[in-house]
A and B are shown apart, each in its own frame.
Chain A
Amino acid sequence: GQQLNQSPQSMFIQEGEDVSMNCTSSSIFNTWLWYKQDPGEGPVLLIALYKAGELTSNGRLTAQFGITRKDSFLNISASIPSDVGIYFCAGPGTGGTSYGKLTFGQGTILTVHP
């Protein structure tokens, strides 16, 4: 099946720093989704990307849909303590039995020190 690889697996940063994380796939995706999960809660959608090369912002978050359609990037500017959590990329399958089935990466754990 389709697999998404996220890096880094974890990050420890100081409040105010910028953060970058990425997600790669061996398969092409037509949609990239970025979710954040706080401890003990379900994932919450942050940004959805629908077009190769697309750059979309949501407050301090910016995500890009890679030109090759096999990768995506998420940046967080001027991090704050509430940015702590696990960030997941996800993509729906594009063909065959995987069509429409959402696959998640393994997550990037973000810790922000005040």
Chain B
Amino acid sequence: EAEVAQSPRYKITEKSQAVAFWCDPISGHATLYWYRQILGQGPELLVQFQDESVVDDSQLPKDRFSAERLKGVDSTLKIQPAELGDSAMYLCASSPRGPAQISPLHFGNGTRLTVT
């Protein structure tokens, strides 16, 4: 079964440094999501793309976080500068075109970020 690919699996960075995560969705999936999951909690949406366009970034801390999906395929999430509170699992998910009501999300295995 096709998978959502994410890299790196683990990242340790110092406070105030820049960090970037990469995601390659399932081929043909038009919708791509970035979620943040703090330990002991459920995932929370950061940003949603439909093709190359941002559909929802209302929960993205735009002073330090940025996301792009330039060609409507793979995507990069960046944090600059990283803060201690950014330590979490960053999950990428994709789905075929359409809202989550009819196109359930498929998740990657995430990037575990630790900020020291």
Contact = CB atoms under 8 A, between A and B. Distances in A.
Contacts of A100: 99-101
B113 to A, nearest CB: 13
A114 interface: no
Interface residues of B, number: 26
A107 interface: yes
Contacts, number: 58
A35 B42 CA distance: 11
B44 interface: yes
B91 interface: yes
Nearest to B55: A100
Most A CB atoms within 10 A — which of B40, B45, B101, B107?
B101
Contact of A42 (B4, B40, B58): B4
Contacts of B41: 106-107
Give the interface size class of chain A.
20 to 34
B93 A42 contact: yes
B105 interface: yes
Given A42-B93, A99-B99, A48 B104 contact: yes
B42 A97 contact: no
A41 B99 contact: no
7 closest A-B pairs by CB: A104-B42, A100-B99, A42-B107, A92-B100, A102-B100, A31-B101, A92-B101
Interface of B: 4, 6, 33, 40-45, 48, 56, 58, 91, 93, 99-102, 104-110, 112
